[in-house]
Structure 1
């Protein structure tokens, strides 16, 4: 009798800890069926303010495409007194293998009505600031799998709201939603969809659902000979990863079907093969679905039940438009809202108008740049073929920023794909 008592006590204490949510994960602070968390959306990417161990709230990207929570700055990690236990090497999506991170194993994340407890953080030793230059708002890290693993989470892009449900909630599919079987493999979610390519062939690819990527559909050609390039495409930088810029081609597919919801003429990225491609092949996936597609839906991720539930959002039937200017823009990382041109595509309206890389934009249609959000400018540049855009540009003559000339250009937007 007495020999069995310690074992009973151990089970009792373990049960108590589980009941109190004392295992790594995200949990509601109050006993409710659901709570809402507002988010800021930039190009349909989900950005939440997160307080770490009582720190000032920091912007984090909610990303189903990553396994671990990541902080982009060790300087910031040191400033909020994170404790580290070891160092590890990370592999970026472009195949880079020289990203070092320190592991901070036990932290508390405060998201308002939800706490993340016993949360591990990978803290990059070399600061990663490129997301801010591309999105136009500061982003200091990523929340990944841990946020989704125990509880259903609804993403309402229309209203900028996450709904975090009690783990036992949503046993039945809500009205107007369609269910898709979802596989969670190595802490990442995958589904199968139907894609009709421009050559008429049909694919049924397994795709990663990646809320942290700003593309629409992405197909990795190295994973299958059945993936074919469309006849019309442009070569371009596809996006920014932790390891660097991804390059490849942008085209379109005839349509994709997601839970039998059909999207036509979907913009599709075809990245170049990289040293990271072996990881993609090993997962069995042929590509991914990003925010440009996901942002046209309302989604409920239900990891515990291996299902994704989908309904159409208000912009579901909006046409997929790509930049029609030929310019890629970035924000200068300072206190002012300054925008410069990071890329000019050959043969594009921007190049024909005489615009050059590193030109700084002062005004757009006579409105000073500091009034614009970067996402609003990008939206304007893919808005309507034939639209005229007036730009006032500052062109620096050398590294000496006191030497420059201000120029005015007019370009006409033209659909290129």
Structure 2
């Protein structure tokens, strides 16, 4: 996807220069970006945190607000549905072919070049949107609530942003009006390259080697630490790892392995036994190699901090949150769970690891979960179920499941299974 977006941005430079010149001639000084509606030192924007992913309601062109994911890992704003885009009254100029993270090229998007985003005290002016021509519900299936799009680099480029995961709020500062060194924060150098933020961090691997890693700061990724083995032979797999789904991208499900490193240091703070994802190499890997990075830092680590992203001053500031030193726990059931999109909290099992507690109890992929410990599934949030499955070794789980026969939704069999959680890595 990065290649297509890069081409789009390059081809759009001329358009935006003409737009800016026209606006300045007309007496307006504003350029594309996100700004406060009132001239204040800072404003506060509440958000909803799901597994430390940042979800905010956004009104586009005066329409009803819809949920967007705030994501430092992408350049352009994206809307996940052309049907929704049409309903919002968006206007399009042309179509692009996108490359998904799995290397596929069968995604297309229509470009809607000028839109207004309303986030309450903040507005995004002259915002471009890439609108997927086919609907994408992948994020809702893994996060558990409807997500209709992504806000990327534009939100961060002009203003210091303080993210408080504990209290689910963002402080959006006027440029140059935040203290140079807020109390108890530690500073790291931040480089913004190709509209994406990078830091350097020290990672000690299980074999004792120390990796000086260039990492993408990715608020839109639900992993903790991710290392791309294809970028350097200095990245080594730990002796204990499991094969697993790693996440959901526009191009499909990402597969790879999950293990641990001894520690990683972030602004001098040391996190031990960090869960680490090792994705399989794909046709998309050349983009990662060209960026010079060795991996990325996602919400599972970032959500343990109070974080300031200050693009204008090329810095990131970090302060420990209350859960900073909490153990990194991985699923102990052996199941990957997903929500059925556009339905009322119906959860199914997308994958079952061989030899895991769930597999040994008879659970199979595509079973639907009806109850967990006598509580109906529709009462649970998907994030709550995932936390339960990571909670503690030996915890007893009883589930009522429904197994459909030959894809016939009217032909099924219900059963009850019981297993105990077991730590696997």
Question: C-alpha displacement at 1:97, in angstroms?
Answer: 1.6
Question: C-alpha displacement at 1:398, in angstroms?
Answer: 2.7
Q: Show the counterpart of 1:7.
A: none
Q: Give the Cα separation in 2 of the matches to 1:336 and 1:267.
A: 31
Q: Give the Cα separation in 2 of the matches to 1:52 and 1:105.
A: 13
For residues 121-270 of structure 1, what are the structure 2 equivalents within 5 Å?
121-270=129-278
Of 313, 319, 344, the match for 2:327: 319
Question: C-alpha displacement at 1:173, in angstroms?
Answer: 1.2
The count of aligned residue pairs is 405
Unaligned 5+ runs, structure 2: 1-20
Q: Give the Cα separation in 2 of the matches to 1:315 and 1:132.
A: 26
Q: Show the counterpart of 1:414.
A: 422
Question: C-alpha displacement at 1:45, in angstroms?
Answer: 0.4
- 1:47-96, CA deviations, whole angstroms, 9 ceiling, x for partnerless residues? 00000000110100000000000000000001111000111111111111
Contact residue 227 and residue 277 of structure 2 kept, 8 A:
yes
> Secondary structure of 2:408's partner?
coil
> Secondary structure of 1:191's partner?
strand
Whether 1:382 and 2:393 are equivalent positions in the alignment is no
Q: Give the Cα separation in 2 of the matches to 1:203 and 1:415.
A: 27
For residues 277-356 of structure 1, what are the structure 2 equivalents within 5 Å?
277-356=285-364
- 1:278-320, CA deviations, whole angstroms, 9 ceiling, x for partnerless residues? 1001110000000000000011100011100100011101100
Of 382, 403, 407, the match for 1:399: 407
> Secondary structure of 1:376's partner?
helix
Q: Give the Cα separation in 1 of the matches to 2:342 and 2:199.
A: 40
> Secondary structure of 2:409's partner?
coil
- What TM-score, normalized by structure 2, do the two folds share? 0.94
Contact residue 146 and residue 342 of structure 2 kept, 8 A:
no
Q: Give the Cα separation in 2 of the matches to 1:357 and 1:46.
A: 29
> Secondary structure of 2:286's partner?
helix
Question: C-alpha displacement at 1:335, in angstroms?
Answer: 3.3
- What TM-score, normalized by structure 1, do the two folds share? 0.95
> Secondary structure of 1:172's partner?
coil
Q: Give the Cα separation in 1 of the matches to 2:32 and 2:342.
A: 37
Compared CA separation, residues 289 and 15, structure 1 to 2 (3 A) = farther
Q: Show the counterpart of 2:28.
A: 17
Unaligned 5+ runs, structure 1: 1-9
Question: C-alpha displacement at 1:405, in angstroms?
Answer: 1.6
Q: Show the counterpart of 2:12.
A: none
Of 80, 97, 100, the match for 1:92: 100
Q: Give the Cα separation in 2 of the matches to 1:13 and 1:343.
A: 55
Q: Give the Cα separation in 2 of the matches to 1:284 and 1:15.
A: 42
Q: Give the Cα separation in 2 of the matches to 1:80 and 1:14.
A: 30
Q: Work out which of the two has the higher radius of gyration on C-alpha atoms and give 1 or 2.
A: 1
Question: C-alpha displacement at 1:11, in angstroms?
Answer: 12
Q: Give the Cα separation in 2 of the matches to 1:387 and 1:335.
A: 29
Question: C-alpha displacement at 1:154, in angstroms?
Answer: 0.7
Question: C-alpha displacement at 1:12, in angstroms?
Answer: 12
For residues 50-69 of structure 1, what are the structure 2 equivalents within 5 Å?
50-69=58-77
Q: Give the Cα separation in 1 of the matches to 2:255 and 2:365.
A: 17
Q: Give the Cα separation in 1 of the matches to 2:66 and 2:26.
A: 34
> Secondary structure of 2:234's partner?
coil
Contact residue 403 and residue 413 of structure 2 kept, 8 A:
yes
Q: Show the counterpart of 1:71.
A: 79
